[in-house]
Amino acid sequence: MGVTLSPKQAVACQRNGLDVHLLDWKSIDSTTFGPFDGIVSVGAFEHFCSVEEYLAGTQERVYESFFKRCRLLLPAGGRLYLQTMTWGRNAPAYDDISLSARKGSNEYILAVMQRAYPGSWLPAGEEQIERCAAPYFRLVSRKNGRRDYIETMNRWDRVWKWSPRKIVPALKMLPCFLTDHDFRYKLESLRNGYNRVCFIREVMDHQRLIFEAIEPS
Ligand SMILES: C[S@@+](CC[C@H](N)C(=O)[O-])C[C@H]1O[C@@H](n2cnc3c(N)ncnc32)[C@H](O)[C@@H]1O
């Protein structure tokens, strides 16, 4: 059973026989579906805190509330697998991220990515995540997936190589390109592989964490 905020993803999953619901995790409690044996979250946690929440100092409250909710749905000893991007050791400070920064710098690349993919602020790192989970979960396994993610993106590049078959879809995107200023940032980010650059430069990192639900104290 899965939840997503994307109507198109929900429909595609349902069409393929999956039990997927269009729901925010914030609206799920133990009465929504009942308890679960385990929970898996892949590539969603990094979207849970908005830039506004980060600036208001409530990032950890968002994460604590997620762990609390997951704990309510699991038995003691039940496991939560969490895969998420985090900021890396070379991430610039929020105030330094700017489109006026030197082109190609970490500060400039992140400013472009914020325009292309607005709305999220990443977790600071695995220590922050572990701290927020601590009242409900104990960390039992941790793996850094940064290099795997770079390899994944290299392979996506090979699959998505330019071919004449892509002319029609590309032409369909032309109106967006001409009218939506942020769409240009998306293209710039994709064309230059900014996401991959961030992983290579350790501006972003990637964690795979397994937690085990503890007895309530
Ligand atoms: C970048 S996608 C990755 C998801 C997954 N790995 C996949 O391949 O589909 C992020 C996912 O997180 C989901 N998501 C983000 N915030 C959510 C929330 N508050 N409640 C439920 N789903 C959420 C989005 O709907 C989206 O499906």
pTM of the model: 0.92
Tell me the mean pLDDT per 10 residues along the chain, length 217: 96 97 95 95 97 98 98 97 98 97 98 93 97 98 96 89 82 84 88 95 98 89
CA of 111 to the centre of ligand 1 (A): 22
CA of 4 to the centre of ligand 1 (A): 5
* Residue to substitute in 13, 47, 49 for testing ligand 1 pocket (most ligand atoms within 8 angstroms of CB): 47
Q: Domains of the chain (ranges plus CATH)?
A: 35-213 (3.40.50.150)
Minimal CA–CA distance to 206: which of 133, 134, 156, 151? 151
- Count the residues in the chain: 217
Pairing of strands 204-213, 20-22: unpaired
Give the N- to C-terminal CA distance of the chain in Å, as an integer.
29
d(CA 186, CA 30): 39
d(CA 150, CA 197): 9
Ligand 1, pocket residues at CB < 6 Å: 3-6, 9, 24-26, 42-44, 47-48
